Structure 1
Amino acid sequence: MGAESEVVLDQTDNNDNVSVPEKAENRTLRFLKKAALFILSQWLIIGMGIACLLAYLFPNVAKHGGIIKSQYSILYGAVALIFLISGLSVPRHKLYTHMLNWRLHALVQIISFLFVPAVVLAVVHLIIATDPEKEIDPAVLAGYIIVSCIPTTIASNVVMTRSAGGDDAAALVEVLIANILGPFLTAGWTVTLMPNTAEFEPWKSGSSNMTSMYRDVFKQLGLSALLPLVVGQAIRWTWEKRTSMILQKFYVNKWSTACMILLVWTTFSSAFATDSLEALSTQSVVFTVFFNIALYLFLTAVCFSLSRPPQFLRKGSWGKRVFQAISPEETIAVCFCGPAKTTALGIPLLYAMYESMDLYTKSKTSIPVLLYTTEQIFVAHFMVYILRWWRTHLECSGEKRDTESIAGGGHV
């Protein structure tokens, strides 16, 4: 007892001996440590900000056809690394299971190719009717029609889904399906949805020569997505335990996030190099920036609601079949795949369809594609935290097991 008292007294004396400046210094160090940890947790946003700054200061470095030939080094190299890592990370049985998941395919592809164009087309016609002075540039509105018709993005969906704790195998499969369908659907769908007014006549008639566009798109899809995915899966099948150990030891999944920063860099470099951002009116730029955020958040809410319909809609045998909920992990994949769009098809398609159009007009038309695909990464970064929290909340409350028992019929 005496020894314990002496220890307590010694500890008290030590605490009393700490001076006021030392206590203040300790508090400062703790604050700085917390601040540093917070900044490190937001390294994607910080990296994207630095990438945008470098793109503005040195646009010729990473623009399409620039010093580092980003159309090859980044659009092939960085994207290929993302899919190689995905192939190394995803178990084979999960890929096979999701290839047969018809409910997931229907949900993601209908949202991407039907619902999003319907929403954007309604907004475009509303602006045409309420903006007789044409303060919003028609090229911007035409660009949004193109945005709505292109498929979901190749890289960021998989990375964000994995970061949020979702089913990255589901995201992988939907990305591949969408980008195989995209070249066949997007061109005709874009021309069909263009408004029948005089100011949209230059975009109403697309180029008849689309052969080079199809060749380039499928070459990029094969070399940057399919081939690395197959190689990654082959390595995982052969050395599964060793592969898993290396992925964890060297934090390989973080490399995918770094590759996304490179994609933002090359996207903005091309925009600044053509001066297309500076060419737009202030109203057009403000509308584009804020509409992108609103559209992405709205589409995310729709994806979540369709993936997890309210309980009252799931009552009865008919309701259970039609409004069936999917698992939380698949819901996260849908929330990232449904609203997202890709520059990998959007920009080549735009330049191939309107090859006879002047570069100035094509650059203005490409602004919605460039800004939406960049802003979606910013917004999705914060959605990662929200969806991760939601999934953790479900697990803690025990609702996940109930949902999985209901959603079991979603797989064939």
Structure 2
Amino acid sequence: MFQRLLPLISISSIIIAQLATFILFYFFDKGIAGKIGIAYLWANFSARIVFLGGEQSLVKRLLASELSEYTTGFSLYATITSILFLSSIPLVFLFGDLVNLDKVEYLFIMTFLMLLALQWLEIFSKVEGLYHLYQIVLLVTAILLVASYLMAYFFDENSLFILILGQRIVGLIITLTILFWLFKSFVNKFSLQGWRQILKSDYGFILLLTISLINVFVDRMFISAKVEPDTYADYMIIVAIYSLAIMPKSLLANQYLVLLKTDMEGYFNTVRKISAIYVPILLLLGFMAYWVVTVYLLVNYEFMPGIYGVLAISAVVEVLLGPAGMVNSFKYHPKYNLIPEITGIVTFLLILLLNNIFGSPSAEGFLSVVIAMAISKVVIAYTKLVTLKRLQIH
């Protein structure tokens, strides 16, 4: 039953998560919203990068039914993520002020841990046709976040950070409970043998994930480290609405991933066609919502339509180019996506250098950063498609 309701559950979790973001913007100080957003941004980036490609590696092995290597791979990447998580804690307290994490270090750490656990849950759920479990957990955590914000506003605004911390802890407990149940089915021992062979085989995943994650987060990391939290909050609202609009692209790519086992062309065309319908519509609705929210509701936030327009155009172009990167990684090898990702980050840096915006960008300067990021994303998507066509020929 839950599997049939997956689209509804997914959409509900996304909408409620965005509602939580709006409540944060509307009820609390702009600087506080920026602080919370920066903590989440860096926690999200850190939770993804500590996997060192482990997510894609394990998914590829499970899709190929290489269960003999799976236990070793799980043991290796579980150890890596644990070590890197523990290593990051002192770094946050030492250098947190450089990226505006001062006074929210504990919130960053707990968010980091919750997102790390959710990433493990996503791995197991999507390859075993249990993706609805992951989406249900996202829905529950989003509802709890809304409740935390409302409680802080109506009862004690000073307890906002404590309530958010509590929401992260509850979300972590729920995720770990479900993970324990799943682990009993797939992981029955811890293996130290074969780690060297796994790392040698997975170098492509490691390099690809590191570079691709930088490309995904580069605009927000660059801006968050250069401006004050209240200024970053202006960019947060754009990213929140834009992320909601393009969500169908990633959801569809994950939902139909199993199809790659038997029908690569069918997977590519299905994801591209359905995404090409939903994403432009949601981008248009998102722009209308952005205008209404900033003009009538969040009057202390700056309306920046040019930035949203640039993001929207790049998103539509990416959708039309199709999920070539997913096919390259899971059907062939992640090394084939390395050159496109490197090309993207080089493109971004060159555009910034040519526009001389390595200083502290103002709200007006955001446009140059976003244009650089948008162009680099299109370059990446196009280069991945060209690579896929070459692989099919050979």
Q: TM-score, length-normalised on structure 1?
A: 0.28
Larger Rg: 1
